[in-house]
């Protein structure tokens, strides 16, 4: 309870806050994370590892197999935002959160109402034709399942705007994220193992005085945090937020 009160004080202090998150933010929406005991990378379902199947070269060579894995594991069209997404959106609306920086590709922050979201690894909701660049919605992609999605304009293969292994992050998104993190007084990190670079390295730009970590498992940045909460992130944020704003 003391931890929740401490988090309430941070949320209520009205300082410049930024949230940095990962897959753990969406597990309470029913989307599995990658590295937990029940995470995607612990399942053995195929001759290839998930990291191999989510690699740029695999996409280029084996599009049917890539899309089968991708649609079955990375795309969750029925998932709804949970308390973590909702509280973060409310904090932004109240003028207390400058931005969400996320490694997630599910678009749930925006669905919950967050406006300033830097999606370091892209989004399943944006898809572009590899030949003519035409935009395709997630619904257009799903409607072509189980075949490889092709462009309605030119018939070429459409690629999700998701950063695969072997691809670089979008410069503008990285710059935007660094800008937000640099200017923050308070950085709340949650639902991420902080083990994937360069994304995790961006928190090194934090120059403020209050680092809060809300994560089920330990991370390598725990020692740098002023407040560590080992709870479920949706539940934790909701409890602290309702105390701060009631």
Largest CA-CA distance found in the chain, in angstroms, rounded: 59
Partner interacting with residue 129 (select from Zn ion, ligand OAD, none; CB below 5-8 Å by kind): Zn ion
129 part of the interface to Zn ion, by CB under 5 A: yes
φ and ψ at residue 42, rounded to 5 degrees: -95, -5
Token pair of 119, please?
């999606």
Partner interacting with residue 116 (select from ligand OAD, Zn ion, none; CB below 5-8 Å by kind): none
Nearest to 189, CA basis, from 215, 224, 218, 217: 215
Partner interacting with residue 132 (select from ligand OAD, Zn ion, none; CB below 5-8 Å by kind): Zn ion
130 part of the interface to Zn ion, by CB under 5 A: no
131 part of the interface to Zn ion, by CB under 5 A: yes
Q: Please name the residues in contact with 197: beta carbons below 8 A apart, sequence gap of 6 or more.
A: none
Quote the least distance from Cβ 141 to Zn ion, whole Å.
13
Partner interacting with residue 216 (select from Zn ion, ligand OAD, none; CB below 5-8 Å by kind): ligand OAD
- Count CB-CB contacts under 10 A for residue 81: 23
The order of strands in the sheet holding 186-190 is 117-119, 97-102, 17-21, 186-190, 210-214, 227-229
d(C-alpha 150, C-alpha 57), whole Å? 19
Binding footprint of Zn ion, residue count (CB under 5 A): 8
Q: Considering only residues 93, 94, 132, 175, which one is a binding residue for Zn ion as defined by CB under 5 A?
A: 132
Q: What are the start-end ranges of the E strands in 5-120?
A: 17-21, 97-102, 117-119
In the window 5-24, what residues touch ligand OAD (CB under 6 A)?
22-24
Tell me which stretch binds ligand OAD (CB under 6 A): 9-17, 34-42, 170-178, 238-246: 34-42
Quote the least distance from Cβ 129 to Zn ion, whole Å.
3
Buried b (16+ CB within 10 A) or exposed e, 84-112: bbbbbbbbbeeebbbbbbbbbbbbbbbbb
Task: Closer to ligand OAD by CB, 5 or 195: give it.
Answer: 195
* Contacting positions for Zn ion (CB under 5 A): 129, 131-132, 134, 151, 153-154, 156
* Contacting positions for ligand OAD (CB under 6 A): 22-24, 27-28, 33-36, 39, 103, 121, 163, 191-193, 195-196, 215-217, 232-233
């Amino acid at each position: 309870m003391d931890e929740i009160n401490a988090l309430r004080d941070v949320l209520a202090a009205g300082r410049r806050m930024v949230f940095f998150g990962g897959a753990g933010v969406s597990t309470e929406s029913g989307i599995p994370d990658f590295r937990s005991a029940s995470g995607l990378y612990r399942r053995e379902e195929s001759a290839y590892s998930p990291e191999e199947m989510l690699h740029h070269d695999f996409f280029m060579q084996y599009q049917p197999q890539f899309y089968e894995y991708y649609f079955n594991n990375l795309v969750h069209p029925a998932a709804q935002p949970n308390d973590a997404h909702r509280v973060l959106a409310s904090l932004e609306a109240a003028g207390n959160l400058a931005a969400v920086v996320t490694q997630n590709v599910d678009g749930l922050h925006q669905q919950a109402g967050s406006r300033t979201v830097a999606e370091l690894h892209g989004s399943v909701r944006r898809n572009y034709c590899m030949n003519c660049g035409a935009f395709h919605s997630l619904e257009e992609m799903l409607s072509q399942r189980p075949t490889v999605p092709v462009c309605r304009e030119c018939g070429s293969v459409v690629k999700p705007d998701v950063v695969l292994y072997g691809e670089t992050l979008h410069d503008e998104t990285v710059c935007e994220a660094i800008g937000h993190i640099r200017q923050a007084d308070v950085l709340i990190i949650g639902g991420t193992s902080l083990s994937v670079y360069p994304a995790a390295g961006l928190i090194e730009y934090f120059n403020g005085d209050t680092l809060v970590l809300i994560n089920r498992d330990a991370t390598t940045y725990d020692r740098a945090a002023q407040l560590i909460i080992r709870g479920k992130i949706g539940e934790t944020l909701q409890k602290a937020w309702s105390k701060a704003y009631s």
